[in-house]
Homo-oligomer: A and B are copies of this chain.
Amino acid sequence: MSAPAQFPDRLAAAVERKGASLCVGLDPMVERLPAELRGVEPAEAYERFCRGIVDAVAETAVAVKLQSAFFEALGSTGVAVFERVAAHARDAGLLVVADVKRGDIPSTAEAYAAAFLDPRGGEPPLADVMTVSTYMGGDSLEPFLRACREHGAGIFCLLKTSNPGSGDVQDLPLADGRPLWHHVAGLVEEWGAGLVGESGLSAVGAVVGATHSGVVETARRLLPHAVLLLLGVGAQGAQPADVAPAFAEHPAGGLVSVSRPILYAHEERGGDWRGAAAAEAARFAGELRAAAVVG
C-alpha cells in the first residue's frame, strides 16, 4: 500500500483546480451569529452556522480552518461540533486545518498527533493539517512529523504570529544578531526537509502574520519549501497584496486564511448570510488570484 498523497501536494492540486489559495477560518462567535441563529442553543447554532458557511464557500475556498478555541469554549459538546464540522468540510471536498496550536513533550505530543492527524478507528483523520507550537523544540515535533510521514498529514509551525505582542519573544535579537523567529525558520526548514512532496513543497509549513511589514517576504526567503499559513488578512488589517510574496515560487506556497470578513459578511452586505459569505469569499479569492499573479 502506498501512503496517501502528501498534504502539500493535495493543497497544490486544490489550488490548481480552484485558482486561489483561500482558506476560510471558522471562528464562530455567539454574539455575531446571524439573526436566524440567535437564541438557538450555542452548540447547535455553531453547527448550523459552520455547516452553512462550509457549503457557501466550498466552490471557492481550498480549505477551512477551524479555530478550536471557540468550540472548546462550549466544552465537550463544542468539541463534538468541531468534529462534525470537520467531517462535513472534508465531505464537501475542502482541506481541513485544525487551528489548535498544540505542543508538548514527545510522549504527550504523540497523543495530540493521534487526536488530530492519525486515522481514528475506521474514520479518516480529523484534519489534513494542524497548527503546532515550536517553543518546546525539535523532539516535541517528532510525533507530528511521524504522522506526516505515515498518513500524508501536514503541520504549520508557529513562526511569526500576527498579533502585535508577537515581538515580545519572536523578535528577540539572538547573539548572532538575527531575531529569534529567523532561527526558528531554520529549524522549520530542517524539520520539513525529508517531507517535500512532488509539488516541491514540504508537509512542514509555518504560521506567518501578514500584519507585519516585510515579514512574508523574509519568511518566503528563509523557508523556500514551506507552505506559509498567512493570518491577519481582514479583521487584523492586512491586505491580500501583503501576502503576494508567499506565492513567488509556487501558487500553493501560501494558504491565506480569512475569517471574520467572510463569516460575518452579512453584517456589511445584508441579505442571506450564506450568500453574503459566498460573495465575500469569491471577492477575496479574486484579489488573491490577482495578488499571486503579481507576486
Contacts and interface: CB of A to CB of B under 8 A. Distances in A.
A169 B111 contact: no
A134 B76 contact: no
Interface in A63-107: 67, 69-70, 72-73, 75-77, 79-80, 82-83, 101-106
Interface string A105-125: 110110110110000100000
A68 to B, nearest CB: 9
Contact of A174 (B115, B126, B174): B174
How many of these chains are in the complex?
2
A256 interface: no
A106 B172 contact: no
A151 to B, nearest CB: 15
A218 interface: no
Interface string A131-175: 001111111100000000000000000100111111111101111
A72 B139 contact: no
Interface of A: 27, 67, 69-70, 72-73, 75-77, 79-80, 82-83, 101-106, 108-109, 111-112, 114-115, 120, 126, 133-140, 158, 161-170, 172-175, 177, 180, 183-184, 187, 236
